[in-house]
Amino acid sequence: MIFTLLFLPFGLLAQSFEREYTYNASENDSKASARKAALEALKSELIEEVGVDVMSSIENATHVEGEEVTNIIKSSLQTFSVAMTKTEILDEKWNGEKFYIKARIEVDHDAMQAQIKKTIEVEAAKKEETLQDSLREEILLGLRNLRTSERIRSVCEKAVRLPMEREKNIFVHHNVLSVFRRYGVQDPLYRAFLFQTFETITPDWQDARLYAIFDYLENHGMYDAEEIQSVFTLFAHMPKHMPSRYYTKLFAPAQTNTQKEALADAYLALLSQGKIGRPVPLNLQEELPYLLKSLPQEVALSLKNKWEKGVK
């Protein structure tokens, strides 16, 4: 087979190919149906050839294997045919058994690239969904038997691969948190995932994730320095009036009054700097009474004396 390239001004906008194909007709084929089949087969081979070549110029698609790309293209030939902007028949012959056709076809390089990229993204999303379905099933099954540390770690390793964003995943994490809380299960990998979740979500009034996470963390020790920053990031993203609903939960992991006061003091400092709440930062004087109610009397009195007038 031979081909020529057509270079247009300001870069490669289109490629012109000459291809030929011979179709072996069946007993039921007429000249018209054989011609149609021959032309479709010729186009299919060209789309597959050009598509695989175009793949090399698509960024962020290196995780897709060459054979997989070919299969994707083969399964979506009709979709990619829109990139063929012009077809010119150069020669055709029919002897009753075989139909020979030769054509010049112009392919829009950019259209082909865009369509392939879109198709691969769709296929990748389907593949990821299948993987997540499998993970969800394995996690729920694993929660039935947590008798060994290896089984606990296996559940955690799978759970952290499910972002706590979609309803299906949230359902699974609610089950994980409930079972872990019931049996006092602690795992550093899953704990780190929970604090990472605090940093990535934008909570709203109907958000059921926060109570479940805070309920689990309540009896599992005080936050470390990095975890405190993650918690503060969460509160920074909360809408007005929402933070006050979580103050009791916020301070629950602090085991001593000293820890509670230090945590509250750091939070109030951010509040005074306008770094808590969205879209408008919360007002220190308006928020202070709600926060003090969630603390032991001794701690509340100390903080009131310090912050009631907004003095740092």
Buried b / exposed e over 144-175, threshold 16 CB at 10 Å, is eebeeeeebeebbebbbebebeeeebbebbbb
**Average pLDDT for residues 225-253, to the nearest whole number?**
94
Tell me which of 102 and 208 has the higher pLDDT: 102
Tell me which of 166 and 294 has the higher pLDDT: 294
Separation between Cα atoms, residue 65 and residue 123, nearest integer Å: 13
Separation between Cα atoms, residue 87 and residue 83, nearest integer Å: 11
pLDDT bracket for residue 1 (50, 70, 90):
very low
Q: Residue 78 pLDDT more than 70? A: no
Q: What is the pLDDT of residue 185?
A: 94
**Average pLDDT for residues 86-96, to the nearest whole number?**
93
Query: 172 near 136, Cβ under 8 Å?
Result: yes
Task: Calculate the dihedral angle through the C-alpha atoms of 298, 299, 305, 309, rounding to the nearest 10 degrees.
Answer: -150
Average pLDDT value over all residues in the chain: 86
Domain boundaries, the chain: 14-123, 221-312
Q: Residue 79 pLDDT more than 70? A: no
pTM of this structure = 0.69
Residue whose pair of structure tokens reads 């698509």 in the numeric block:
58
Q: What is the pLDDT of residue 203?
A: 87
**Average pLDDT for residues 242-271, to the nearest whole number?**
95
Which pair of structure tokens corresponds to residue 173?
């994490």
**Average pLDDT for residues 130-135, to the nearest whole number?**
93
Separation between Cα atoms, residue 48 and residue 260, nearest integer Å: 65
Q: Name the CATH superfamily for 14-123.
A: Helicobacter TNF-alpha-Inducing protein (3.10.129.140)
Radius of gyration, alpha carbons of the chain: 31
Q: Residue 70 pLDDT more than 80? A: no
**Average pLDDT for residues 144-152, to the nearest whole number?**
93
Query: 43 near 102, Cβ under 8 Å?
Result: no
**Average pLDDT for residues 29-57, to the nearest whole number?**
84
Percent of the chain at pLDDT > 70 equals 85
Helix extents (H) in the chain? 31-55, 66-75, 77-80, 109-142, 149-159, 167-183, 188-200, 209-217, 225-236, 247-251, 257-272, 284-293, 297-307
Q: What is the pLDDT of residue 114?
A: 79
Tell me which of 83 and 41 has the higher pLDDT: 41
